[in-house]
Amino acid sequence: MSSTAAPANGAQTPPKSPTQKSPARSPTRPAPNADTEETPLLAAAREEGRDEHEEAALLEPSQDKSKRTKSWWFWRILWTVLAALVLAVFIKGWIDAKDVDFDLKGALKRALGGGLSGAAAMVLQVILLMWIRTIMNYQYRHGSSLTTATKTLYAEGGIPRFYQGAGWALIQGPVSRFGDTAANAGILALLQSNGYLSQLPSLIQTIFASVCAAAFRMILTPIDTFKTTMQAQGSRGTALLRKRVKENGIGSLWWGAFATAAATFVGHYPWFATYNFLSENIEEPPKHPLIVWLARLAFIGFCASVISDSVSNSLRVIKTYRQVNDTQVSYTEAARLVILQDGILGLFGRGLKTRIIANGLQGILFSILWKLFLDLWEKSTS
């Protein structure tokens, strides 16, 4: 019986051990107050006033990696093919042209003049129009009407709230505009030195400038991230970025870089294509009376801005959402969350009215100031 008792004792020991270890297993299950991967998202949702659709979407499992991989490859193949086509046309032009008269000094001089003029114009634009761009970026991230966004921002910190991130804007705005205008002026001057490429329509020539501008904007993504996050998230933006860099590394400052490049290309090309096309086809009047000369520039700038904004707005919504979000989301996930919250019209129309107002004013200002500064540069260097 003793031999039977021994197993009985041994059999009693295992049942106790699960009951003793069961509390140890409980931490593996998320306790009500325990932090999980979803907790920061939910906390941010409550802090930022996300609606139930967005909160539910954040709780859903992440998208299948194979789908993301296909999307990843699709966009990279698309951009590679586009770059290859542009490069092929460029190389063919230099091979086939018999009267190549490449003036590197002239092209660089033209690019520098266009870039500095654009940067100077952008400084004035940032000072005068920073407030409305803050409203626009807030709408891009959170989705609301112009009136609601304005009231919310004012309640958060009064007039200074509209100028949060102004320091970064004064760096990013002029530098990025320098790249945009230098690319447009320099590339066009370069193409004019080639008999084959100079015969291309201005709409085709502008593609080369837009590709250069898009690549330049990718380099400046971290500065744009600081500025946009301060505008969209307010005083908590700096802490949010510190936390994000600590958890995801310095590369997280480049979140949204590809969308930035795409939005830059899709925004830059229509703007400068429209600007160059109208400048060629609307005869420039004499500068006296000045009002007629300025009215032509204002009209060209406004038309260029409206066309550019209507085409590129959805990309900028996705870029801003991904760029200023607490946690990393893919481009497709960012688009899905926006659609769940505001519908398909929200993706294409979120902040569009504000953007047309902001960029309409900016386009008028920029078109006039850039031309004035460029004329001054050419007179002083001729």
**pLDDT per residue as tens digits for the range 252-307:** 888 878 877 887 788 788 888 888 889 888 988 887 888 888 889 889 988 888 88
- Give the span between the Cα atoms of 167 and 364, in whole angstroms: 24
- Give the span between the Cα atoms of 123 and 301, in whole angstroms: 17
Other Cβ atoms within 10 Å of 68 Cβ, number: 15
DSSP structure string for 76-138 = HHHHHHHHHHHHHHHHHHHHH-S-----HHHHHHHHHHHHHHHHHHHHHHHHHHHHHHHHHHH
Would you say how long the chain is, in residues? 382
Q: Which of 174, 256, 188 is nearest to 222 (CA)?
A: 256
Write the single-letter amino acid at 112.
Answer: L
Flag whether 20 is in a domain: no
Flag whether 185 is in a domain: yes
Mean pLDDT calculated for residue range 93-121? 73
Tell me, what's the pLDDT at 101?
A: 61
Flag whether 56 is in a domain: no
Tokens 């481009």 sit on residue: 331
Tell me, what's the pLDDT at 155?
A: 92
Half-sphere exposure of residue 141: CA atoms within 13 angstroms, side-chain side: 25
Tell me, what's the pLDDT at 103?
A: 64
Q: Which of 199, 208, 184 is nearest to 96 (CA)?
A: 199
Tokens 């000045």 sit on residue: 290
Flag whether 303 is in a domain: yes
Residue 59 has pLDDT above 70, yes or no: no
Tell me, what's the pLDDT at 97?
A: 62
Q: Domain of 218? A: 97-381
Q: How confident is the model at residue 2 (pLDDT cuts 50, 70, 90)?
A: very low
**Which one is predicted more confidently, 97 or 299?**
299
Residue 36 has pLDDT above 80, yes or no: no
Tell me, what's the pLDDT at 344?
A: 83
pLDDT > 90 in the chain, percent = 2
| Burial profile 259-297: b = 16 or more Cβ within 10 angstroms, e = fewer | bbbbbbbbbbbbbbbbbbbbbeeeeeeeeeeeeebbebb
Q: How confident is the model at residue 33 (pLDDT cuts 50, 70, 90)?
A: very low
Tens-digit pLDDT profile for residues 166-205: 888 888 788 887 888 788 778 888 777 777 777 888 788 8
- Please say whether the beta carbons of 264 and 306 come within 8 A: no
Q: Please report, for the domain that includes residue 176, its CATH number.
A: 1.50.40.10
pLDDT > 70 in the chain, percent = 78
Report DSSP state, residue 196.
T
Tens-digit pLDDT profile for residues 361-379: 877 888 788 888 888 888 8
Tell me, what's the pLDDT at 51?
A: 47
Measure CA of the first residue to CA of the last residue in the chain; give whole Å.
Answer: 115
| Count of structural domains within the chain | 1
Flag whether 39 is in a domain: no
Q: How confident is the model at residue 38 (pLDDT cuts 50, 70, 90)?
A: very low
C-alpha distances (whole Å) from 266 to each of 210, 309, 332, 366 are 8, 9, 18, 19
Flag whether 87 is in a domain: no
Q: Determine if residue 49 is left, alpha or beta; phi over 0 gives left, psi from -120 to 50 gives alpha, anything else beta.
A: left
Average pLDDT, the chain: 75
Flag whether 362 is in a domain: yes
Q: How confident is the model at residue 79 (pLDDT cuts 50, 70, 90)?
A: confident
C-alpha distances (whole Å) from 239 to each of 163, 244, 246, 324 are 18, 9, 11, 12
Flag whether 212 is in a domain: yes
Q: How confident is the model at residue 329 (pLDDT cuts 50, 70, 90)?
A: confident
Q: Residue 294 is encoded by which pair of tokens?
A: 């300025």
